[in-house]
Amino acid sequence: MFSSLLTPLVTALMELLKRTFPIPKKYIPITSFFVGLLVGLLASPFTDMDAQLRLWSGGIAGLAATGLYEIGKRSKKSKRKC
Q: What is the CA radius of gyration of the chain?
A: 14
pLDDT at residue 66 in the model: 82
Model confidence at 8: pLDDT above 70: yes
Cα-to-chain-centroid distance, residue 26: 15
Q: For residue range 28-67, what is the model confidence (pLDDT) as tens digits?
A: 889 999 999 999 999 888 888 888 999 999 999 998 888 7
Q: Which residues of 4-22 are buried (b: 16+ CB within 10 A; e: fewer)?
A: eebbebbbebbeeeeeeee
User: 3-state class of 47 per DSSP?
Assistant: coil
pLDDT at residue 35 in the model: 94
Comparing CA positions, the residue from 56, 59, 51 lying closest to residue 35 is 59
Model confidence at 17: pLDDT above 90: yes
Q: Comparing 42 with 79, which gets the higher pLDDT?
A: 42
pLDDT at residue 38 in the model: 93
